[in-house]
Chains A and B, each alone.
Chain A
Amino acid sequence: MQTPVQMYRIGRKKNRFKGAGFFLKVGTLLFLIATPFLFPSFKIVDLAMNIIIFSVLVASFDILLGYTGILSFAHGMFFGIGAYCVALLMGQYGGPSYVHLALGLLLGVVAAAALALVISFLSLRVKAIFFAMVTLAIAELAIVLATKLSGFTGGEDGISLNMPGIFAVSHHMGHFLGIEIGGRIFTYYLILFGSVILFFLMIRFTHSPLGRVLQAIRDNTRRAEALGYKTFIFQVVSILFGCVVASIAGAFYAMWVGYVNPESCLGVMTIMLDVLLMVIIGGMGTLYGAIVGAGLLKTAQTFLPDLQHLAKIVFPHVAFIHQFLERWLLLFGVLFILVVILFPKGVIGSMREYMARRT
């Protein structure tokens, strides 16, 4: 005898490797693998790398926002912690070696976990909205500390770092399919590999029994409590997991860019705003929405300067358009509000709803 739930799960399992969704996922992955060979320009590869790293960051934010119903403004800070730990160990206080890289990653994870624990114990005890305010205050504090303690963190100037061994920018191994094989390419695949593993982990996390409990808490905290779940513990676990993944994404970012500073790695109005936009546009509580959101936003940001340039050539005398394009944040802000009001489920969520209605 099978329960309806079991039958549903068996059905899902059978169709796991079929359907448009599955092929879309595999296609995206293959495309990202092939990107360095399809597009030889550094700009495109850099864009692809940014999309990959931000997909992981946004998905980890989605675990908090979409799956647990907690809004944290300190997620950018955890990203920065991961980036700074790698940069400190490989740039400031160590050298480009594999040991330092591993230690930096480990340090970032431990620091992020410890801080996430402290923050959740501080603010989860009260109302959920306190979490947003407390995390915003702590994130701003982190920026101030990173800027002011310049002896330790390099201040506004930030820290530069080099990758070790075969990942170094200066490392060259000759050509393959017309593409120069060197440190950059190896770093790209290392980060892609790490990101795919992290993404799989997050999908497993949300589909696990633990993930289901988290969604139950998000939808109705009282009922979840009445069913005997210790909501506080579950929320802490979710925050811990999300923040640790964010710190690893930050470490990847530092490894790729080779440079960290407070504005690019910690800023609430830079990183956090982007992440919020991506998760809203892609769709909260979908995980895959992270890829869509990151892809759309990063592509738009990369090609905006070109668009501005184009506008200056095509409409040399219409000052209005130039001003408009220079204030692209205004556009994104309006887009953000419109999406929140009209499509609160985002691209992926709305698409899933549409598909479900058709069948």
Chain B
Amino acid sequence: MAGALAAFKKRSGEVSLAAAVVLFMLPLLWIPGKIYLTLTIAGLAMGMLIFLVASGLSIIFGLMDVLNFAHGALFAWGAYTGFSVFKLMRVWVGADSVLKNVGVFSVAVAAALLAVAVLGMLLERGLIRRVYGSHLFQILITFGAMVVLVELIRVFWGPNDEVIVQPLTFRGSWDMQGVIVERYRVLCIMIGLLVYAMIQIVLKKTKLGTIVRAGVENREMVQAMGHNISRIFTGVFAAGAALAALGGVAMSVFDRQVYPDMGGTYLLFAFIVVIIGGLGSITGSLLGALIVGLAYNYVAYLVPWAAAAVNVLIMIIILLIRPTGLFPAGG
């Protein structure tokens, strides 16, 4: 019996991979093939966008041991900064030129990254620094920061929903033998993969990444080696905030709207993702985000009202069988 269990544990990687593939194909029983492919692409795109939010949350937690409830608000700030850029550069958004369309999107992303990174730095220096070490007070203070940031959005940009016009190049879709592929979704998937690759390269191949990874393992030791951990913390927080902002811009163009409370919805997705994937793990976040995105789209097609419930259900199942998530950090 014990031997069988050990053998099972040794093979658990392959077993769970097989289980994942079976689960992934399961919706095919009810969904016609072509629609299934369309939904899969939509799910992957949504998953990649959620990954952008969740990865920032996960990095911040992994290194700083801070659970940032204001992450959703930073996401919304990113989206609103992008919205302002889109509004200022209306002409380029509507222009029939790929260069100008991509240009306005890039400017929006750059502005959002910059603005929210600065905001993140202020947040870390001003508030979160005071409550290192106490999870309870971190949650309380970042929750308060979230309320203030969301209200500030209402003050600066007004309390109503605003429409974002997709740049002309990003609109429309390709029809491949009945499988409808929206252009922007493909772009989202590419952005997500690019960011994942960049995070991995920075963490694994650069000196900074080594320091950050060492900081996750043992903070005091890194400090003793002469690295200014406090400055690194601020930098990591700003980077995590910037990832949320990137997610915010990409998501607002995806949804074609911004609204002050948009952060709450995606913060929730990000929480579910990091619980599924394991707090602190980037690969876990990617996998968790893809699971959430795909499950949401399949279920939204089959049973529309249950779409919001299915992710909580997945989270509960994962908590039951693997309380620390699929890829526990440091493991």
Q: Give me the interface of A with B, judged by CB distance under 8 Å.
A: 65, 69, 71, 122-123, 125-130, 132-134, 136-138, 140-141, 144-145, 148-149, 268-269, 273, 276, 280, 323, 327, 329-330, 332-334, 336-337, 340-341, 344
What is the CA–CA distance of A148 and B154 in the complex, to the nearest angstrom? 27
What is the CA–CA distance of A273 and B311 in the complex, to the nearest angstrom? 24
- A137 and B272: CB pair below 8 A? yes
Q: Give me the interface of B with A, judged by CB distance under 8 Å.
A: 67, 127, 130-131, 135-137, 139-141, 143-145, 147-148, 151-152, 154-155, 261, 264, 268, 271-272, 274-275, 305, 308-309, 311-312, 315-316, 319-320, 323-324
B274 neighbours in A (Cβ, 8 Å): 133
Q: What's the minimum C-beta distance from A238 to chain B, rounded to whole angstroms?
A: 15
- A337 and B148: CB pair below 8 A? yes
Q: A141-B308, A337-B127, A340-B144 given as contacts; is B271 within 8 A of A136 (CB)?
A: yes
What is the CA–CA distance of A122 and B136 in the complex, to the nearest angstrom? 19
Q: What's the minimum C-beta distance from A147 to chain B, rounded to whole angstroms?
A: 9
What is the CA–CA distance of A276 and B261 in the complex, to the nearest angstrom? 19
- B305 and A332: CB pair below 8 A? no
What is the CA–CA distance of A148 and B308 in the complex, to the nearest angstrom? 10
- A330 and B319: CB pair below 8 A? no
- B155 and A132: CB pair below 8 A? no
Task: Report which of A65, A126, A280, A336 forms a contact with B319, defined as CB distance below 8 A.
Answer: A126
- B139 and A71: CB pair below 8 A? yes
Task: Report which of A132, A268, A276, A334 forms a contact with B67, defined as CB distance below 8 A.
Answer: A132
- B275 and A133: CB pair below 8 A? yes
Q: A133-B67, A134-B275, A330-B152 given as contacts; is B144 within 8 A of A336 (CB)?
A: yes
What is the CA–CA distance of A130 and B127 in the complex, to the nearest angstrom? 22
17 pairs of residues in contact across A and B, judged by CB atoms under 8 Å: A65-B136, A122-B316, A134-B315, A136-B268, A136-B271, A144-B308, A148-B305, A268-B264, A323-B155, A330-B152, A333-B145, A334-B148, A336-B147, A337-B127, A337-B144, A341-B141, A344-B137
Q: What's the minimum C-beta distance from A118 to chain B, rounded to whole angstroms?
A: 9
Given contacts A123-B319, A145-B309, A327-B151, 7 further A-B contacts (CB under 8 A): A128-B136, A129-B139, A130-B275, A134-B315, A330-B151, A334-B148, A341-B141
What is the CA–CA distance of A144 and B304 in the complex, to the nearest angstrom? 12
Q: What's the minimum C-beta distance from A173 to chain B, rounded to whole angstroms?
A: 45
- B275 and A71: CB pair below 8 A? no
- A137 and B141: CB pair below 8 A? no
B127 neighbours in A (Cβ, 8 Å): 337, 341
- Of B137, B272, B311, B316, the most chain A CB neighbours within 10 A belong to B316
What is the CA–CA distance of A175 and B155 in the complex, to the nearest angstrom? 49
- A71 and B147: CB pair below 8 A? no
Q: What's the minimum C-beta distance from A338 to chain B, rounded to whole angstroms?
A: 9
Task: Report which of B141, B155, B315, B319 forms a contact with A340, defined as CB distance below 8 A.
Answer: B141
What is the CA–CA distance of A55 and B141 in the complex, to the nearest angstrom? 22
Q: What's the minimum C-beta distance from A284 to chain B, rounded to whole angstroms?
A: 9
A69 neighbours in B (Cβ, 8 Å): 136
B141 neighbours in A (Cβ, 8 Å): 337, 340-341
Residue of A nearest to B313 (CB): A141
Residue of A nearest to B151 (CB): A330
B305 neighbours in A (Cβ, 8 Å): 148-149
- B309 and A141: CB pair below 8 A? yes
Task: Report which of B137, B272, B309 forms a contact with A144, defined as CB distance below 8 A.
Answer: B309
- B151 and A340: CB pair below 8 A? no
B137 neighbours in A (Cβ, 8 Å): 340, 344
- B151 and A137: CB pair below 8 A? no
- Of B131, B152, B261, B323, the most chain A CB neighbours within 10 A belong to B323
* 5 tightest A-B CB contacts, nearest first: A333-B147, A330-B151, A333-B148, A337-B144, A336-B144
Q: What's the minimum C-beta distance from A70 to chain B, rounded to whole angstroms?
A: 9
Q: What's the minimum C-beta distance from B279 to chain A, rounded to whole angstroms?
A: 8
Task: Report which of A129, A140, A141 forms a contact with B135, defined as CB distance below 8 A.
Answer: A129
B144 neighbours in A (Cβ, 8 Å): 333, 336-337, 340
Q: A137-B268, A141-B312 given as contacts; is B130 within 8 A of A341 (CB)?
A: yes
- A332 and B147: CB pair below 8 A? yes
- A333 and B151: CB pair below 8 A? yes
What is the CA–CA distance of A148 and B141 in the complex, to the nearest angstrom? 32
